[in-house]
Amino acid sequence: MSYLEFRNVQASYGTNPILLGVDLDIEKGEIVSLIGPSGSGKSTMLRVLIGLTPLSGGEIRLEGKPIDYATKAGLRAVRSRMAMVFQSFGLFDHLTVEQNLLLAPTVVGKKKRAPLLEEMHEVLRLTDMQGHDGKRPPQLSGGQKQRIAIARALMLHPEILLMDEPTSALDPIRIAAMSDLFGKLAAQGVTIIQVSHNMDVVRSLSDRIVLMHDGRIAATASPKRDQDDNAAIARFMAAEAHQA
Amino acid sequence: MQIWNWHGFFMYLGSGFIFRGALVTLMLTVFATCAGFVLGTVVAVMKRSRHKGLSLPARFYIWLFRGTPLLVQLIIIYTGLPKFGIRLDVTTAALIGLSLNEAAYLAEIIRAGLDAVSPGQIAAARALGLEEGQIARYITFPQALRIIVPPLGNSVNGLLKTTSITSVISMEELLRRAQLLVQEHFMVLELFTVTAIYYLAMTSAWDMIQRRLENYVNRPYQRTATPVLLEPEANIAVTS
Ligand SMILES: Nc1ncnc2c1ncn2[C@@H]1O[C@H](COP(=O)(O)OP(=O)(O)OP(=O)(O)O)[C@@H](O)[C@H]1O
Ligand SMILES: [Mg+2]
């Protein structure tokens, strides 16, 4: 039994089938990178996992138990263990950075504000965003927004961290710093599933690379263990790296 | 015959009869705005629903009340409903007619405000674990209000004057009372100048309130924003 198991996972938007039966096993503390062409279903994988897009078939098991997305209690339970960084950030424009970071911990987590403020400053330091807590998202640059989105997810202390292209707007120095941070989180037992088009990050960070194609897993590879990458993955990564 | 009678002008300006008429106008406006906002919010939420059983009645309601003159609606409510055994006094009929009509207009304004909040923020809020009611309260409504307040202000300004239409079912608001007084001394110009002054005073007062409202809903967007939203909630969270 693996920590997180996808079993014949299917999903569709309306009548459009998007995921056509995905099987994937993920271990605790692993960093899994989803790669693949645009529209292949990478974001949908993350959305399904956190219950934003319903499964139309199959199931996802967490520590052996099927996740119950159909009931409020089930959704609450699964969302309390995960956090997600969105491709388009999803920051709340009318709230300050501080309010963005504290909203869920106070309203959902019912935690006290004073200790949270301390945590917030720590998280802002980790994402190199200290001193920006009074600003609102429209006043931030793209890369700053992205780091606030990461900071907001970290405030939830997730067991599983889902990140949709979390370094797409960052400069090389920040990418290195964030990769370092993700590596440390994984070493502490946080399971990370990220979507990325940055093949350097994918290669250096991933325990496993999953290549998606047309709603299916086309290939997987473990760059840290296998000497020879899977041929299909190597080809895709070479093509992506060439594009960038 | 005089062109302008100052004595008559000041007599009407100080008239308690006219003043109380203006108070009735004010009361009709405040009530119809509040009731219209509550009902309009319900209709707007229904119209945005994915369920046809909710969105279709909302569409029909808006279509009906925006597609017919308030005058006609008032007459049907006041004279038509009694034929079905529903007897309403003038004030009740006026309040109902104005509120139903206002709700249809406000529903469209509120819907536009709710639509303006990006789906990405709603998805993020769900992923953070917020429930639908909390999302409405902390995310959707505060942002929608900022969009809603300017057109809402126009609507209230219009309503202040539109209430005069209730005079057709002999609601004794400002205009009706002026019409009644005309027959006394036939000082038409003086009387209606006073009436205009009352309307101007009320719309000007509303302009001031609207500016404050706009500042209030824009406060989170100003540069030196102080965290206003989480403070009381954090306290509630602590005690619960
Ligand atoms: N809300 C939606 N409604 C309808 N179709 C959608 C929706 N979101 C995504 N899709 C479709 O689902 C498919 C998979 O989308 P997904 O976002 O998972 O792709 P992706 O692999 O993340 O692509 P990218 O690299 O461009 O982000 C696409 O064909 C897309 O058009
Ligand atoms: Mg995507």
DSSP conformation letters of B216-234: HHHGGGSTT----SHHHHH
pLDDT value at position B229?
47
Mean pLDDT of A106-131: 94
Is B153 domain-assigned?
Answer: yes
Relative to the alpha carbon of A85, which ligand is closest? 2
What is the amino acid identity at position B239? T
Assess whether pLDDT exceeds 70 at residue A226: no
Give the Cβ contact number of residue B127 at 10 Å: 24
B30 touches chain A (CB under 8 A): no
Name the CATH superfamily for A4-81+158-243: P-loop containing nucleotide triphosphate hydrolases (3.40.50.300)
What is the distance in angstroms between the CA of the first residue and the CA of the last residue of chain B? 76
pLDDT value at position A170?
95
Q: Are residues A102 and B234, on separate chains, in Cβ contact within 8 Å?
A: yes
Q: Closest Cα to atom 24, ligand 1: which residue?
A: A38
* Cα-to-centroid distance, A39 and ligand 2 (Å): 7
How far is B102 from chain A, CA to nearest CA, in Å? 28
A136 touches chain B (CB under 8 A): yes
Assess whether pLDDT exceeds 50 at residue B231: no
What is the distance in angstroms between the CA of the first residue and the CA of the last residue of chain A? 38
* Cα-to-centroid distance, A10 and ligand 1 (Å): 14
Among A90, A110, A111, the residue with its CB nearest the CB of B124 is A90
Q: Closest Cα to atom 16, ligand 1: which residue?
A: A41
A95-110: burial string, b at 16+ Cβ within 10 Å, e else? bbbbbbbbbbbbbbbe
Assess whether pLDDT exceeds 50 at residue B77: yes
B88-109: burial string, b at 16+ Cβ within 10 Å, e else? beebebbbbbbbbbbbbbbbbb
CA distance B120 to A86: 8
Q: What is the tens place of the pLDDT at every residue in B16-28?
A: 999 999 999 999 9
Percent with pLDDT over 90 in chain A: 88
Is B233 domain-assigned?
Answer: no
Assess whether pLDDT exceeds 70 at residue B234: no
pLDDT value at position A230?
78
Q: Are residues A99 and B237, on separate chains, in Cβ contact within 8 Å?
A: no
Q: What is the tens place of the pLDDT at every residue in B23-52?
A: 999 999 999 999 999 999 999 999 999 999
CA-nearest of B126, B100, B115 to B43 is: B100
Q: Can you tell me which atom of ligand 1 is nearest the CA of A215? A: 14
Would you place residue A238 in the very low, low, confident or very high pLDDT band (cuts 50, 70, 90)?
A: confident
CA nearest B144 in A: which residue?
A94
Q: Which helix H or strand E contains A216, and what residues bound it? A: strand A216-221
Among B134, B143, B230, the residue with its CB nearest the CB of A102 is B230
Mean pLDDT of A105-128: 94
* Cα-to-centroid distance, A137 and ligand 1 (Å): 25
Sign (positive or negative) of CA dihedral A113, A115, A116, A122: positive
Cβ partners under 8 Å of residue A185, min gap 6: A161, A192
Assess whether pLDDT exceeds 90 at residue B69: yes
Q: Are residues A84 and B124, on separate chains, in Cβ contact within 8 Å?
A: yes
Q: What is the tens place of the pLDDT at every residue in A64-93?
A: 999 999 999 999 999 999 999 999 999 999
Domains held by chain B: number: 1
Mean pLDDT of B155-181: 95
Burial of residue B190 (number of CB atoms within 10 Å: 0-12, 13-18, 19+): buried
Is B193 domain-assigned?
Answer: yes
The answer to whether A129 touches A149, Cβ cutoff 8 Å, is no
Would you place residue B238 in the very low, low, confident or very high pLDDT band (cuts 50, 70, 90)?
A: very low
Burial of residue A85 (number of CB atoms within 10 Å: 0-12, 13-18, 19+): buried
Chain B neighbors of A79, CB-CB under 8 A: 126-129
Q: Are residues A108 and B134, on separate chains, in Cβ contact within 8 Å?
A: yes
B66: domain range? Answer: 7-222
pLDDT value at position B230?
46
A57 vs B223, more confident: A57
Assess whether pLDDT exceeds 80 at residue B236: no
Q: Can you tell me which atom of ligand 1 is nearest the CA of A195? A: 22
Cβ partners under 8 Å of residue A77, min gap 6: A68
- Torsional class of B191: left (φ above 0), alpha (ψ -120 to 50), beta (otherwise): alpha
* Cα-to-centroid distance, B100 and ligand 2 (Å): 45
Examine the predicted complex and report whether its ipTM is higher than 0.90: yes
Is B230 domain-assigned?
Answer: no
Mean pLDDT of B211-220: 87
A152 touches chain B (CB under 8 A): yes
For A88, A97, B119, the CA distances from A148, given in Å and listed in that order, are 12, 7, 19
Would you place residue A237 in the very low, low, confident or very high pLDDT band (cuts 50, 70, 90)?
A: confident
Q: What is the tens place of the pLDDT at every residue in B106-155?
A: 999 999 999 999 999 999 999 999 999 999 999 999 999 999 999 999 99
Percent with pLDDT over 70 in chain B: 91
Residues with CB under 6 Å of ligand 1 are A 13, 16, 18, 36, 38-44, 87
CATH number at residue B141: 1.10.3720.10
Residue written as token pair 């619960």: B240
Domain boundaries, chain A: 4-81+158-243, 95-156
Q: What is the tens place of the pLDDT at every residue in A203-222?
A: 989 999 999 999 999 999 98
CA distance A83 to B128: 7
Chain B neighbors of A138, CB-CB under 8 A: 221
Among A86, A110, A136, the residue with its CB nearest the CB of B124 is A86
pLDDT value at position B200?
97
Q: Are residues A92 and B127, on separate chains, in Cβ contact within 8 Å?
A: no
pLDDT value at position B235?
42
B76 touches chain A (CB under 8 A): no
Assess whether pLDDT exceeds 90 at residue B173: yes
